[in-house]
Amino acid sequence: MDLDVVNMFVIAGGTLALPILAFVASFLLWPSALIRIYYWYWRRTLGMQVRYVRHEDYQFCYSFRGRPGHKPSVLMLHGFSAHKDMWLSMVKFLPKNLHLVCVDMPGHEGTTRSSLDDLSIDGQVKRIHQFVECLKLNKKPFHLVGTSMGGHVAGVYAAYYPSDVCSLSLVCPAGLQYSTDNKFVQRLKELQDSAAVEKIPLIPTTPEEMSEMLQLCSYVRFKVPQQILQGLVDVRIPHNTFYRKLFLEIVSEKSRYSLHQNMDKIKVPTQIIWGKQDQVLDVSGADMLAKSIANSQVELLENCGHSVVMERPRKTAKLLVDFLASVHNTDSSKKLD
C-alpha cells in the first residue's frame, strides 16, 4: 500500500537530487506534498505517462509505457485504497519493451468517484472492461495482473471475459472462502458485528493507526518517522469516507467470495504469487486457487507479507517476466532494467 513511500525516505535525499535543506524542510513541514513529488518523479524517471480516457460521462486515469507489439500488453490492477503508482517499484525492474498499463481502479485517484457507481466486485469488473474497450486493449488478448482487491477483480474478469485475456497473474488476491478465519478476518467480523466501521484496520486515521497498518501489511519492519506517518495519513483522510463505503461493499455477501465462486471458470495460464507471511489474506489461498485452475503455477515468497509488490519488487518483476516468457515463448534472458 504505502510501503514504497516508506522505502523512499531511506534514500530520497540522494535519489531525488534535491538540496538537503529543501528536502529536510519538506520532510518536516510538508510530508504529504513530498509524497506527491515522489510519485511524479518516479513516473517521469521510469517513462510512465499519465493519460485520461472517457466512457460516456465516466473518466478513467491511467499511466502507461511502451506500445502494443508482438508481446501481450500488460494491464495492472492495484489493491484497496492504493492507486496506479503503487506499481512503480515493480515497473522499475520490468523490460522497457513491454507495453504496460496501470489504471486507477473505480473511485481511486484520478478515476471518477460517483455515489451512483456500483463498487461491488462485479461492478468493478464491468468498469475495467469499459476501460479496456476504450483503449482497445483487447484488440489482441492481454496479460492481466492484479493484487489484493485488484487480484479479486482480475480473477473474476478473466472468468467473465475469457477472450480478452491470454494469461493472468494473481498476487495474494482477495475473494476466497477459507475454512478458518485468520486473526485479521476475525477482527473484521467483530467490527462488522459491532458496526464499528470507523475502526477498519486498512483505513487509518492517525499516525499510530498508519504504523499498525504498515506492520499488518508487510513482513519487514520499518521505523517510520512520525512526520512521514502523518503525511501518509493526511493524503488518505479526504478519501476515507469513500474507502469505508468501498470496503463494506467488497466484503458484503454479494462480493466477498466472487473469486472463489468463479475460479473454476478461469481457463487461461495463471500465475499465483503469495507472501508466506501474509497476515491479511492467508497463503493457503494459493493452493486453493491452484487446485481449481488447471493451468496454473504457484510462487510463494519467503519473508514476505501482503504487500508483495512493494516488499519484493525485483523478485515479482522477474517472476512475471519469466512467466510471460514460458507461456508466450518470448525471450526471458533479457536483463531486467
Q: Which residues are catalytic?
A: 148, 278, 306
DSSP result, 150-206? HHHHHHHHHHH-TTTEEEEEEES-S----SS--HHHHHHHHHHHTT-GGG-TTS--S
Give the residue from 180, 184, 170, 186 showing the smallest Cα distance to 292: 170
User: Which backbone phi and psi does 324 adopt, to 5 degrees?
Assistant: -60, -40
Question: Please, are residues 275 and 140 in contact by the beta-carbon 8 Å criterion?
Answer: no
d(CA 5, CA 34): 10
* 237-259 b/e (C-beta count within 10 Å ≥ 16 → b): eebbebbeebbebbbeeebbbbb
Taking residue 265's Cβ as centre, other Cβ atoms within 10 Å add up to 14
Biggest CA pair distance of the chain: 57
Backbone φ, ψ for residue 112 (5° rounding) = -50, 135
CB count in 10 Å sphere of residue 219: 20
- Do 304 and 172 touch, CB atoms closer than 8 A? no
Q: C-alpha distances in angstroms, 96 versus 142, 162, 316?
A: 17, 27, 16
Residues ≥6 apart with Cβ < 8 Å to 141? 72, 163, 164, 165, 166
> The C-alpha cell of 176 is what?
476466497
Residue 164's closest CA among 141, 135, 131? 141
